[in-house]
Amino acid sequence: MKRLNKPSKFNRSNLLKRLGGGGAAALMLSITACGSVPQNTSQSPEAGSSPSAATTAGASVEGQLKIGTLLPITGDLAQYGTTMQDSVNLLGETVNACGGVLGKPVQIVSEDDQTDPAAGAAGMTKLAEVDKVAGVVGAAGSAVSSAAVDIAVRNQVVQISPSSTSPTFTDRAKKGEFNGFWFRTAPPDTFQGDALAQLAQQQGAKEVAVLAINNDYGNGLIDSFIPAFKELGGTVTNESSPTKYAPDATTFDSELRAAFNGNPDAIVMVAYPETGSIILKQAQEQGLLDGNTKILMSDGMKTDKLAELSGKTADDKFIVSGGLGTAPSAGGPAIDQFSDAYQNKFNRAPNVYDPNSWDAAAVIALAAEAAKATTGAAIKDQIRAVTSGDGEKVTDVCQGLALLREGKPINYEGASGTVDFNPEGDVVGSYDVWTIADDGKLQVQSKIEVAGSDS
């Protein structure tokens, strides 16, 4: 993973004052900001590029659409953030190749959230108040989105997260806290909790313990999984005191002993790749993976590099081999078009939340064209109009832009799903059951359908 070192040109002292003492201290310790950002994405970078290198040079054009990204290029979610950034860059390049938005090139302005709430808040502040973007794709982690969303709402910036799945956002949206500026292209964990419960039941697990990161993501998934599994007749052995670990933890001896106490049939593990792989290594070292307890993982662990990160046993087998997990399916009507374009550009298949990132940026571009304006407030009011209703169904973003220029309504159906947003900004979809094969490769094994009646 690359770390960004080029300083940004915004006034850090004013930002530190806005964040206050604790946030300022955290920011001083952790922030690495991006440099100046160009006007278009006509030369998208190779995979894994830093945000400051992810767009081509050039000055802003008056009246053009500026889309920000707030994604983890470094930190625990960098496995996802770098490829999510590539997906947004590719969308910008594609749109600009077919005439841009409102006749002008789209500008992608990028900030590394470092998988850290303080850095995320700083990044959103810069994007909204300095760069004056109309919409932001991000953040990835729910804790970072929680730190950034109020800044977006205050500045009337549309925020569309490709992967923040905490149910907290649904609850807050129902209370009207976001004023319609919040959306996400991945379904909330109220649905993934159900999917994990069904997976545990399918695996014959009757007694399950949970081991989760102690942040919005982990707590939200715990809160949805426990009642869903109990409703299926299962028992959560540590229901009264779920085992949680700090996001910055590096050793997990006590947490592992607590979770594996009593030898449950399965451990439901809510984690991110870097720390999650360390947990698996330490569980192996303690002999906890030698019994019959199965490991069931959430979407946060779904990465092609999980086997490599987790390492091998003494007999040269991957520690995580045979492990199972769930993740939102990326199977929308436009998935083949997106996957082909992505493969041609980067010579690899898309990562788990890449289709969601593409769709988030596409929706902002289409809504701006429909609104005939590049302000967040105008775009917000057109997002549902271009993604649902009786307009012509389109899967090609350029076709959608062309129809909108002619004054015709559209119904964009994306790579991640149909992208139909409910009043809370949520989408609903099915879930992949994924596993790590003996050769270390990630495979999708089956699907679990979730009704989504709570949406």
Say which CATH number the domain at 266 has.
3.40.50.2300
d(CA 169, CA 446): 28
**Crossing angle (nearest 10°) for helices 142-154 and 216-231:** 120
* 340-382 confidence digits (pLDDT tens): 999 999 999 999 899 999 999 999 999 999 999 999 999 999 9
Q: Is 130 exposed, middle or buried (0-12, 13-18, 19+ CB in 10 A)?
A: middle
Residues 326 and 366 both lie in one domain: no
Same domain for 106 and 225, yes or no, is no
173 and 263 part of one domain: no
| Tokens (6 digits) for 124 | 């959103």
**How confident is the model at residue 62, as a pLDDT?**
84
Same domain, yes or no, for 148 and 288?
no
Could you tell me the residue range of the domain that residue 103 belongs to? 12-186+353-377
DSSP 93: H
Distance of alpha carbon 395 from alpha carbon 407, whole angstroms: 18
Residues 124 and 194 occupy one common structural domain = no
- What CA–CA distance (Å, rounded) separates 103 from 216? 40
Same domain? 19 vs 145: yes
- 141 in the same domain as 273: no
Q: What is the model's pLDDT at position 149?
A: 98
Pair (216, 262) in one structural domain: yes
Query: Under a CB-based contact definition with an 8 Å cutoff, are residues 370 and 397 in contact?
Result: no
**Assigned domain for 128 exists:** yes
Find out whether 320 and 436 touch, Cβ atoms under 8 Å.
Answer: yes
455 residues of the chain, pLDDT tens digit each = 333 333 333 333 333 333 333 333 333 223 222 322 333 333 333 334 333 333 433 457 888 999 999 999 999 999 999 999 999 999 999 999 999 999 999 999 999 999 999 999 999 999 999 999 999 999 999 999 999 999 999 999 999 999 999 999 999 999 999 999 999 999 998 899 999 999 999 999 999 999 999 999 999 999 999 999 999 999 999 999 999 999 999 999 999 999 999 999 999 999 999 999 999 999 999 999 988 999 999 999 999 999 999 999 999 999 999 999 999 887 899 999 999 999 999 999 999 899 999 999 999 999 999 999 999 999 999 999 999 989 999 999 999 999 999 999 999 999 999 999 999 999 977 899 999 999 999 999 999 988 554 43
Contacts 24+ apart (CB under 8 A), 366-369: 366/397, 366/400, 366/401, 366/404, 366/410, 366/412, 367/158, 368/65, 368/101, 368/102, 368/134, 368/135, 369/101, 369/102, 369/400, 369/401, 369/404, 369/405
Structure tokens at 357: 């990132």
Q: Which pLDDT belongs to residue 59?
A: 57
Give the tokens for residue 192: 């993934």
- The reply to whether 227 and 164 lie within a common domain is no
Cα-flanking dihedrals φ and ψ of residue 339, to 5°? -60, -40
Q: State the total domains in the chain.
A: 2
Is residue 418 a part of any domain in this protein?
no
Residue 267 and residue 366 share a domain: no
Q: Is 166 helix (H, G, I), strand (E, B) or coil?
A: coil
pTM of the model: 0.77
Does any domain span residue 220?
yes
